[in-house]
Structure 1
């Protein structure tokens, strides 16, 4: 499976109302890293089961619907199993109707068509501002 095909399969789970994911695209021994995790949030989670225990309740609690996930760039690396994808998520706040788009970067390493390392770069402060009920609609940009 090509990186493009893999990311297309992965993002299909994210669209629509939020609920638990099936996590089948993750290896049992996956490592998920958030290098810029907000204070009090984990910066590293080891194992598919542990990631599901962390991610599913967090996802279910968000008052949003993800309307679009667009890859803006995909980069190959020297390691044929690793690629970098730049993407944008567009979501609608279900209580306010406000829409916002945020940019992300993921470094994904695959083994046997499953993620073994997922390093996610996101601007959590910008995402929090976008979800605030009183903030105006905006395009969220993340700093480098």
Structure 2
């Protein structure tokens, strides 16, 4: 049996593909990651998210969330800056810290958020993805009215 590139890719290669997918998205299709990077039985956890949005079991559950609830975010990501990557003693797992910078499409507000993710890759697919996000920064960026932009740059009177 011949394996595809994804099936043989390790954690660092899959993480690099995640970065590409986030930056190549247009914001209108907020699935962020192509389904082929996710194991069918993937578990995605965001422990600091609001209740009911902290755990998704299975590829379809995660993609369904992003097609519905996640689609409301509508953020175009412009920069994915890797801060640090830690390889672990477990060859399937890495811990990554990164900063995402994007623009909220509805308001034009640009903001950055720092995240830490623990990724477990098995057979070239994401099996477990636990991400710790700066929820206050995300909330502020998504709820700040666009008029705050003009006020931020206006000279003091």
Scaled by the length of structure 1, the TM-score of the pair is: 0.84
**Which of the numbers 8, 16, 38 marks the counterpart of 1:8?**
16
Residue 53 of structure 1 aligns to a residue whose secondary structure is helix
Contact 2:10 2:124 in 1 (8 A): no
**Which of the numbers 98, 105, 108 marks the counterpart of 1:94?**
105
**Unpaired runs of 5+ in structure 1?**
139-144
Residue 102 of structure 2 aligns to a residue whose secondary structure is strand
Q: Residues 28 and 72 from structure 1, CA distance in 2 versus in 1: closer, same or farther, beyond 3 angstroms?
A: same
1:85 aligns with 2:134: no
- Between Structure 1 and Structure 2, the one with more strand by share is 1
Q: Residues 42 and 66 from structure 1, CA distance in 2 versus in 1: closer, same or farther, beyond 3 angstroms?
A: same
**Unpaired runs of 5+ in structure 2?**
1-8, 153-157
- Structure 2 equivalent of residue 63 of structure 1: 74
Deviation by residue 1:83-130 (Cα, 9 ceiling, x = unmatched) = 001111100122332211110011000101101110010122220101
Scaled by the length of structure 2, the TM-score of the pair is: 0.77
Range with bigger deviation, 92-101 or 118-127: 92-101
Residue 68 of structure 2 aligns to a residue whose secondary structure is helix
Number of residue-to-residue matches in the alignment: 137
- Between Structure 1 and Structure 2, the one with more helix by share is 2
Please tell me the root mean square deviation across aligned C-alpha atoms, in Å: 2.1
